[in-house]
Amino acid sequence: EDPILLAEFEARIARGEKIEPGDWMPALYRKQLTRMIEQHAHSEIIGSLPEGTWITRAPGFRRKMAQMAKVQDEVGHAQLLYSAAETLGKTREQMLVDLINGKSKYSNVFNYPTPTWADSNVISWLIDAGAIVNQLANAKGSYGPYCRALDRICAEEAFHLKYGHDAVVHLATGTPIQRAMMQAALNRWWPAIMTFFGPSDKMSVHTEILMRWKVKMASNDECRNQFLDMYVPKIWEIGLTVPDEKLAKNEATGQWEFTEPDWEDFKRVINGDGPCNAERIAVRRAAEENGAWVRRALLTPKTQYVRPLA
Ligand code: BYC
C-alpha cells in the first residue's frame, strides 16, 4: 500500500470526513467493510424469519398488521445494506450465493427458535434495542454509504423498539399465564442477547483495525455495557427478572458484571451448527430458487418478447 495515500486516508478519517465509494481506500478497509456490511445485510434478511413466522399467528388483526410492517422494514434494511455493500465492489448476487453456501456469516441470535408469541416480542424489543445501540454508534463512522443506510435504519428501528416494548409490557402486565410466558421467553433469549454484540473485546479479532478506521465507533463490550445500562432497569421496571444471578452494575467502574457467555456455543452457532441454521438457510434457498424465473425474465432483453413487425 502506498504510504502517502494511506497517511492521507488516515488523516481524512481523523478529521471526521466521510470516505465515499470512488475515493482511495486501503484494500483491507474495503475488505473489512464488505464483510461487516454484508453480514449486517444477511442478519436483517435472516432476522426477519423468526418474527415472520408469527405474522399469521399474532394475536389479533392490529398486532398482525404491525408485525407484518416490522418484518417488511427488516427486509427493506437488508436491501439498503446490500446496496451499501455493493458500492465496495461485491455484487448482490454473489453476497446472496455466499449466504446460502454458508461462506458469509449473519447474526448468531437468529439461529434460535421462537416457540411462543412472547419469544417474537423479545426479539422485537430487546434484539432491536441491541441493534440500535450498535447502529447509532456506527452511523457516525467513516464510510458514507454505510452511515447513510444506518441513519435510515435507526429511524425505523426506533419505531420497532416502541412496538416491541408495547408488546412485552402487554404480556408482562397481563394474566399470570401471560406473565409466565413472557418470563420464560426472556429466560430462553437472555444468553443469545448477551452474545449479540460479539465476543468480548479480549477475543474480538477485528475491533482494533475497525475502530482505528472508524468503522466501529464502539467496541463489542462497550455496546454490551451500554445496552445493559439502558435496558436492564426497564426489564426490572415491568416486573420481569433477568436469568443471571451474577448480573449487577459495579457502580465504582460503571461496568456491568455478569456470567461469562458460553463462547464455545457462540462459535458453533456462527459457524453453522445452531438449532435453526439449516432451517433458516433452507428458507433463503427456497426463496432464491422460487424467484429465479422473475430474475431471468427481468434480465432477458425485452426484444425477445416483441413480435417483429410484418
Ligand atoms: N453473530 O472480531 P469480531 C437486527 C463474528 S439485524 C455472528 O468481534 P467484528 C434485526 C465476526 O463476524 C442487525 N457472528 O467481529 C433484524 C467474526 O467472524 P469472521 C445485526 C458474529 O466484526 C431483524 C468473528 O465473530 N447487527 O438487529 O469486529 C429483526 C469475530 O468477531 C457475531 C449487525 O449485524 C454475532 N453476533 O464485530 C430484528 C451489526 N459477533 O467474519 C432485528 C453490524 C461476531 O472473522 N456488525 N461475529 O468470520 C457489527 O457491528 C460487527 O460485525 C459485530 C462483530 C459487532 C457484530
Give 207-266 pLDDT, tens digit per residue: 999 999 999 999 999 999 999 999 999 999 999 999 999 999 999 999 999 999 999 999
Rounded CA-CA distance 61/135 in Å is 31
Residue numbers of the chain with a pLDDT score lower than 50: none
How far out from the chain centre does Cα 209 lie?
21
Query: Does the beta carbon of 221 sit less than 6 angstroms from any atom of ligand 1?
Result: no
Rounded CA-CA distance 287/290 in Å is 5
Q: Is the pTM for the entire model greater than 0.90?
A: yes
pLDDT of residue 228: 98
**For ligand 1, mutation pick of 74, 107, 204 (most atoms within 8 Å of CB):** 107
Who contacts 238 (Cβ-Cβ below 8 Å, separation ≥6)?
168, 169, 172, 173
pLDDT of residue 299: 87
pLDDT of residue 310: 65
143 φ, ψ (degrees, to nearest 5): -95, 115
Query: Does the beta carbon of 111 sit less than 6 angstroms from any atom of ligand 1?
Result: no
pLDDT of residue 302: 74
Set out the domains of the chain in order of their start, with CATH numbers.
Answer: 3-280 (1.20.1260.10)
Who contacts 183 (Cβ-Cβ below 8 Å, separation ≥6)?
172, 240, 241
pLDDT of residue 1: 84
Query: Does the beta carbon of 36 sit less than 6 angstroms from any atom of ligand 1?
Result: yes
Ligand 1 mean position, distance from CA 275 (Å): 18
Of the candidates 145, 156, 196, the residue with the CA atom closest to the CA atom of residue 75: 156
Q: Count of residues for the chain?
A: 310
pLDDT of residue 308: 66
